[in-house]
Chains A and B, each alone.
Chain A
Amino acid sequence: MKDNTSHINPLENEAIYIIREVAAQFEKPVLLFSGGKDSITLVRLAQKAFYPAKIPFPLMHIDTGHNFPETIEFRDRLVKELGLELIVRKVQDSIDQGKVKEETGRYASRNQLQTTTLLDAIEEFKFDACIGGARRDEEKARAKERIFSVRDDFGQWDEKNQRPELFDMLNGQIELGQNVRVFPISNWTELDVWSYIEKENIEIPSIYFAHKRKVFFRDGLIWSHSDHVYQDDDEEVFEKVVRFRTVGDMSCTAAVLSEASDIATVVQEIRNSTISERGARIDDKRSEAAMEKRKQQGYF
């Protein structure tokens, strides 16, 4: 038996508390799982929250169809190993049903289209709480986000009318049709997440580590050469050793040149980095208020 629990990171205690509140306050929670490091961290925290019982809610992946294959392979293995339930809803189906229109051109991405698929899935399963891995340090609009963030029937975020959150008390009371987005790692920074992954020895998809990849350069960012990513004829393809610092789908995630091939080196690299994580997100570059606009429409 160990001595005492004072060594446990306060952020971890907070996240576990929040995840337990979700299980206790809501009837149909779900954990939104993208296969990225933040949602993988959430799964570990949820395991800890309910041990020795299983995580009492399913995972859901909104699949753009433009994922890195490594992420999908990782997702399926994790779910199998932990014996969790996984729901997958595809953006392609929303496109086929004519609910959304595929973007075209140089910056075409399915990132925004995910919102419709997500809102439809929430309605289909009557989820009343969706746990997500968003962090306040990622982006300015997210810095204002509550831990329990209420969305109306249309999935929209009313940033001017948010509930105050006092002390540890989380108010999860909602009307029928509303749902709550829950952010247990709100107060973690990118470095906190990476350090936690290192300390806990959590497995993450291989694309987070240095690997050879065919890439091209545009707007000062490194893009993956892939069928899912639009590329001009004069945009030359190089093979480079790169890794990903953040993982969305292929059309909206830029790589960084890196030799970091294990977690310790990755953490070191993040510590010394002079570029923010979202600096590698093509979707955020659209305008200064890009994230706030997407959130109002129901984006995660």
Chain B
Amino acid sequence: MINVLKQQWKKENNKDISKKYLAFNNKNLVPNIITMEVLKIATAGSVDDGKSTLIGRILYDTKSLTDDKLEAIEKTSKQKGYDYLDFSLATDGLVAEREQGITIDVAHIYFSTPTKSYIIADTPGHVEYTRNMVTGASTSQAAIILIDARKGVIEQTNRHFFINNLLRIKEVIVAINKMDLVDFSEEIYTKIKTDFQALMEKRDYQSQKITFIPVSALKGDNVVNPSENMPWYNGKTLLEHLENLKNQDIYNVGTPRFPVQYVIRPKTDKFHDFRGYAGKVYGGELNVGDKIVVLPSQTTSTIKEIYFYDQKYQTASRRSSVTITLEDDINISRGDMIVKAGDLPKIDKQLTANICWMDSKPLLPGSKYVVQHGVNKVLGRVDAIHHKIHPDYSGIDSDVDSLQVNDIASVTLKLNKPIFYDEFKNHRTNGSFILIDSQSNHTVGAGFIS
């Protein structure tokens, strides 16, 4: 009986594992009761930069790996003949990935501290997977770019930085990894930092914040716990840095946009004439009493009520999913947009955008696609491909007649109906769209409006 229970929890065994690999015991890092802040982080690194190891290390040092998961990692590491714990086994989820030892899709990893919940979108670093990096970065507010201290800034680093810049990630952390393999040398760290700073000169999005941290994911230096091996580094550890990020630092603030997702008409006795517009508020906040304009009809009205479930509010804060009622009975349907009077987006049937092509079937000028802009769908035709942008800062290529998967290019689209947009640089949500192939129904491209 006692043996059975012992076997069930296996606590003793695992304590031994932690003794072997854990220098510091962060007992204070227990998860929070109610998650108020959620930070999504995209990670990018080349093959063998140790990205999965870094994530595994974060999970391990924040005590986010449970005993059974640790046990599985230990077992598999042993089977493979390693004398260390292969943390990449915690994140590489698909059979093909485990077989090839690479990450081939975006995986999501979760951990939390008393102040925040974290979601890591782990994207693969191969050249051919630009689309995955763009995807991972699109939902993230911060990014970690990994550099192998032995290799320094390589072409892949340029690509990772380019994409984070293109997607206007506000907060970028450059983690210079494998410091243990370069004797924790300050000189090497400084050299890499200088090389990276040269790259920063070329970026479009100059106000992006960049922080350099020297780490060893394998040994645990400066990931969660401070390094004893790099006394010359006075900055924060990776986790300390993330913990200190404030919401206002990581979200792009713009003007309020309220795309109507769904019209709520209960038609019950109590709510006989209720007509609510359900949607998520983007960019800024909306208040009861605000004068608004409905697009495309350009009808004006005033916000009467703001509901979240059965409670009424004075203000609908950014990114909350609310239901709004208006003073006037006007005809509004899904895809329409409610904006503040005097704060209108551009309304146009033609737009120029940078697009990232994501389909194996090439994009040709003249092709038609469904353009999904938020919750609004229109038809669009690619009128011209202006130039291809090399995603490593090596310039543009003006002589293009088609786009292949992972190409990024500036194009002009003609639409069958006007959409209501902002430039991507001013509004991450209202300045982006996806392209859908109406034959395959696949999402074939992502666009960032210029």
When distances are taken between beta carbons in the complex, the residues of chain B under 8 Å from A160 are 96, 104-105
When distances are taken between beta carbons in the complex, the residues of chain B under 8 Å from A187 are 38, 108, 110, 119
Nearest A residue to B39, CB-CB: A10
How near does chain A come to B125, taking the closest CB pair, in angstroms?
17
Contact of B138 among A23, A50, A167 (CB under 8 A): A167
In the complex, are the beta carbons of A220 and B313 less than 8 A apart?
A: no
How near does chain A come to B406, taking the closest CB pair, in angstroms?
12
Nearest A residue to B271, CB-CB: A52
Task: Say yes or no: is A104 at the interface (Cβ < 8 Å to chain B).
Answer: no
Nearest A residue to B431, CB-CB: A167
Contact of B34 among A6, A24, A163, A195 (CB under 8 A): A195
How near does chain B come to A268, taking the closest CB pair, in angstroms?
9
When distances are taken between beta carbons in the complex, the residues of chain B under 8 Å from A195 are 33-35
Task: Say yes or no: is B274 at the interface (Cβ < 8 Å to chain A).
Answer: yes
In the complex, are the beta carbons of B370 and A2 less than 8 A apart?
A: no
Task: Say yes or no: is B358 at the interface (Cβ < 8 Å to chain A).
Answer: yes
Which of A8, A238, A267 is packed against the most chain B CB atoms within 10 Å? A8
Contact with B along A5-30 (1 / 0, CB 8 A): 11111111110110011011000000
Task: Say yes or no: is A67 at the interface (Cβ < 8 Å to chain B).
Answer: no
Task: Say yes or no: is A136 at the interface (Cβ < 8 Å to chain B).
Answer: yes
Q: A3-B315, A192-B117 are in contact. Are A20 and B262 (CB under 8 A)?
A: yes
In the complex, are the beta carbons of A51 and B323 less than 8 A apart?
A: yes
Nearest B residue to A238, CB-CB: B1
In the complex, are the beta carbons of A2 and B374 less than 8 A apart?
A: no
How near does chain B come to A131, taking the closest CB pair, in angstroms?
15
Task: Say yes or no: is B227 at the interface (Cβ < 8 Å to chain A).
Answer: no
Contact of B264 among A53, A164, A238, A267 (CB under 8 A): A53
Task: Say yes or no: is B198 at the interface (Cβ < 8 Å to chain A).
Answer: no
List which A209-265 residues lie within 8 A (CB) of chain B.
217, 220-222, 238, 257
Contact of A189 among B110, B288, B322 (CB under 8 A): B110
In the complex, are the beta carbons of B313 and A4 less than 8 A apart?
A: yes
How near does chain B come to A82, taking the closest CB pair, in angstroms?
14
Q: A166-B135, A169-B372, A220-B4 are in contact. Are A8 and B308 (CB under 8 A)?
A: yes
Contact of A5 among B108, B262, B274, B313 (CB under 8 A): B313
When distances are taken between beta carbons in the complex, the residues of chain B under 8 Å from A1 are 288, 312-314
Task: Say yes or no: is B317 at the interface (Cβ < 8 Å to chain A).
Answer: yes
Q: State in angstroms the CA–CA spacing of A267 and B321 once bound together.
A: 26
Contact of B66 among A48, A163, A199, A275 (CB under 8 A): A275
Q: State in angstroms the CA–CA spacing of A5 and B279 once bound together.
A: 13
Q: A2-B313, A5-B306, A9-B34 are in contact. Are A169 and B434 (CB under 8 A)?
A: yes
Give the 3 A-B residue pairs with the shortest CB-CB distance, closest first: A140-B93, A4-B315, A6-B317
Task: Beyond the given A171-B443, A191-B112, A267-B33, please list 9 additional residue pairs across the A-B interface where CB-CB is below 8 A.
Answer: A1-B288, A165-B443, A166-B135, A169-B372, A173-B441, A217-B4, A222-B8, A273-B66, A276-B66
16 pairs, A vs B, C-beta closer than 8 Å: A1-B288, A1-B312, A8-B317, A11-B117, A48-B308, A50-B278, A51-B323, A52-B264, A136-B110, A166-B446, A167-B139, A169-B433, A169-B434, A173-B438, A217-B1, A220-B8
